[in-house]
Amino acid sequence: MDVTTLTLTQLREALRRKEISSVEVTQAMLDRIVAADNEIQSYLTISDELALAQAAEADRRRAQGDDSPLLGVPVAIKDIICTKGIPTTAGSKILENFIPPYDAFVVEKLKDAGAVILGKTNTDEFAMGSSTENSAYVVTRNPWDKSRVPGGSSGGSAAAVAAHLAYAALGTDTGGSVRQPASFCGVVGLRPTYGRISRWGVIAFASSLDQVGTFGRTVADCTALFQVVAGYDRRDSTSLNVPVPDYEAALTGDIKGLRVGVPKEYFIEGIEPEVETAVRAAIAKLEELGAEIHEISLPHTRYALPAYYLIAPAEASANLGRYDGIRYGPRVPGKDMIDTVKQTRALFGPEVRRRIMLGTYALSAGYYDQYYGRALKVRTLIKNDFKTAFEKVDVIAAPVSPTTAFKIGERVNDPLSMYLADILTLPVNLSASCGLSVPCGFDSNGLPIGLQLIGDTLAEATILNVAYAYEQATSE
């Protein structure tokens, strides 16, 4: 049996039945990473010794009767989430060799659940990007076509899960950074409602939009990881103090009578015909399974991208003010303290600098009302669009990205064309809804296409169940 081909849920059963030990599984995964990740470059750091120690501990816990939900299951973590004792770089030279003194909330939850941490996955620098090419370290390749990007910014996590280099992985989604790479890599990716998961210990990009998300090869796998990391934490005052439902039990596959909205604004010019065809076929499948299909309108969709590219950079310019070479990270000495800060901050890559500049401008005296202030008002309109829609439908179905995975290097020098990759995902981040990507076929180049399912505030169980119903009805 090649254990690396098992799904997370299959592995969990095998571990429960003691057919295999966590040490064996972890070693098999680490061997596979050594053999295959040279080509994919999904990991920035492989924490092999710690992983094997955690696996041995999981096996001891198992022997004592412990049956924690992810006991002994090897997973990967996006390198923007702090892991105590394991380098965490956010894909940036400005955090080269940074070793966090504490674990993020989600890492604490993973450890409590008994998961084994294989390592840290590649990301666009500070999660700013849609292709993972903005990493200061390596270019991750799409496992389906190595000349193409895996999407981003959580491209390392998506590629690792797609290439069987982890059973599941954590990412973050500020404008689509879980759903879009999930779509490009043919895996399942969930971006929960803002506040569903504590952001404590997640390196901040845009604090009002950032949220941790989960990747799995199947809907059940993605859900199993989400089940463990969801929750309130008083160290993040924006996390929601509401109970965590049993998401795994909600995967019944029954969607009879469910109202599915199809927003006409999401099938716009610029969508590849093959993407539209696959998504429309998936929606027809939902109807076949008993769902009611309604055409709906989210009238302000086209304003989401310009609003986002003012709000997110504005928040980023403030959040990234902390990188000054004083308390952590490298320091580049200058002629005085201010110059030292300026020289040190030149370690930021081009996209991060671009967004800091844009955000600084949008917030600066004389321009605040014209740019940032207007964008916040547009955010209200976008949020209200979803509110109105969810009075009529239970779930919204749409494409994840207008295209399938593009070629490495194709868009790096044209920021606006790169930003367009997120045009259909970032409305969710601006609103109070949740979203996911589930594979719904391939284009003629053999590249995966994703179906986006969007749910109302805290309706993760609903969208996961719709994805599950679709997946069960279409898997061979």
Partner 1 sequence: MNLTLEDVTKIAHLARLALTEAELIQYQQQLSAVLDYAAMLNELDLDNIPPTTHAISRHNVMREDRVEPSLPLEDVLFNAPQQADNQFLIQSVLEE
> Is residue 381 within the footprint of partner 1 (CB under 8 A)?
yes
User: Measured between alpha carbons, how far is 91 from 124 in angstroms, rounded to an integer?
Assistant: 6
- Candidate list 232, 361, 368, 442; residue touching partner 1; CB under 8 A: 361
User: Measured between alpha carbons, how far is 314 from 298 in angstroms, rounded to an integer?
Assistant: 25
- Candidate list 63, 249, 284, 338; residue touching partner 1; CB under 8 A: 338
> Is residue 379 within the footprint of partner 1 (CB under 8 A)?
yes
287: helix, coil or strand? helix
328: helix, coil or strand? coil
- Residue 78 designated active-site: yes
Nearer to partner 1, 363 or 451 (CB): 363
> Is residue 284 within the footprint of partner 1 (CB under 8 A)?
no
> Is residue 416 within the footprint of partner 1 (CB under 8 A)?
yes
Q: In residues, how long is the chain?
A: 476
> Is residue 342 within the footprint of partner 1 (CB under 8 A)?
yes
User: Measured between alpha carbons, how far is 247 from 211 in angstroms, rounded to an integer?
Assistant: 18
Query: Of 109-117, 145-153, 233-241, 287-295, which part binds partner 1 (CB under 8 A)?
Result: 233-241
User: Measured between alpha carbons, how far is 51 from 177 in angstroms, rounded to an integer?
Assistant: 26
CB of 345 to partner 1, least distance (A): 5
Nearer to partner 1, 102 or 442 (CB): 102
Nearer to partner 1, 68 or 340 (CB): 340
> Is residue 326 within the footprint of partner 1 (CB under 8 A)?
yes
> Is residue 240 within the footprint of partner 1 (CB under 8 A)?
yes
> Is residue 354 within the footprint of partner 1 (CB under 8 A)?
yes
- Residue 153 designated active-site: yes
CB of 154 to partner 1, least distance (A): 19
User: Measured between alpha carbons, how far is 178 from 160 in angstroms, rounded to an integer?
Assistant: 13
Query: Of 21-29, 48-56, 62-70, 346-354, which part binds partner 1 (CB under 8 A)?
Result: 346-354
Q: Are 247 and 464 in contact (CB under 8 A)?
A: yes
- Candidate list 257, 270, 295, 327; residue touching partner 1; CB under 8 A: 327
> Is residue 402 within the footprint of partner 1 (CB under 8 A)?
no
Nearer to partner 1, 337 or 473 (CB): 337
Structure-block tokens of residue 391: 């009075």
For the segment 170-199, give every residue that binds partner 1 (CB under 8 A). Answer: 193-195
> Is residue 285 within the footprint of partner 1 (CB under 8 A)?
no
- Candidate list 232, 267, 328, 442; residue touching partner 1; CB under 8 A: 328
> Is residue 59 within the footprint of partner 1 (CB under 8 A)?
no
- Candidate list 130, 317, 319, 437; residue touching partner 1; CB under 8 A: 317
Nearer to partner 1, 108 or 292 (CB): 108
Q: Give the chain's radius of gyration (CA, Å).
A: 21
Query: C-alpha distances in angstroms, 303 versus 298, 310, 373, 405, 423?
Result: 11, 11, 14, 24, 9
Q: Are 217 and 188 in contact (CB under 8 A)?
A: yes
Sequence-ordered strand ranges (E) for 236-380: 259-263, 292-296
Non-local (6+) Cβ contacts of 338 within 8 A are none
- Candidate list 324, 385, 394, 456; residue touching partner 1; CB under 8 A: 324
For the segment 81-100, give every residue that binds partner 1 (CB under 8 A). Answer: 97-99
Active-site option among 92, 157, 177, 183:
177
List the strands of the sheet with 259-263, edge to edge: 43-46, 116-121, 74-78, 168-172, 212-216, 188-191, 434-442, 448-455, 395-399, 259-263, 292-296
Quick check: bond before 401 cis, omega within 30?
no
For the segment 423-442, give every residue that binds partner 1 (CB under 8 A). Answer: 429-432
**How would DSSP label each residue in 167-196?**
SEEEEE-SSSTTHHHHHHHTSEEEEPPTTS
For the segment 106-145, give every residue that binds partner 1 (CB under 8 A). Answer: none
User: Measured between alpha carbons, how far is 70 from 9 in angstroms, rounded to an integer?
Assistant: 9
> Is residue 345 within the footprint of partner 1 (CB under 8 A)?
yes
* Dmax (CA) of the chain: 70
- Candidate list 119, 325, 399, 439; residue touching partner 1; CB under 8 A: 325
Which x/- pattern, by CB under 8 A, does the window 209-228 give for partner 1? x-------------------
Name the one residue in this structure whose structure tokens are 């990759």. Answer: 421
- Candidate list 7, 10, 208, 472; residue touching partner 1; CB under 8 A: 208
Nearer to partner 1, 69 or 87 (CB): 87
Residue 357's φ and ψ, nearest 5 degrees, are -60, -45
Active-site option among 47, 131, 153, 157:
153
Non-local (6+) Cβ contacts of 333 within 8 A are 340, 343
For the segment 249-268, give every residue that binds partner 1 (CB under 8 A). Answer: none
CB of 382 to partner 1, least distance (A): 8
**How would DSSP label each residue in 39-100?**
HH--EEEE-HHHHHHHHHHHHHHHHTT---TTTT-EEEEETTB-BTTB---TT-GGGTT---
Q: How many residues bind partner 1 (CB under 8 A)?
A: 71
How many Cα atoms within 13 Å fall on the side-chain side of residue 223? 22
Nearer to partner 1, 100 or 439 (CB): 100
- Candidate list 20, 102, 138, 474; residue touching partner 1; CB under 8 A: 102
So which residues are the catalytic ones?
A: 78, 153, 177
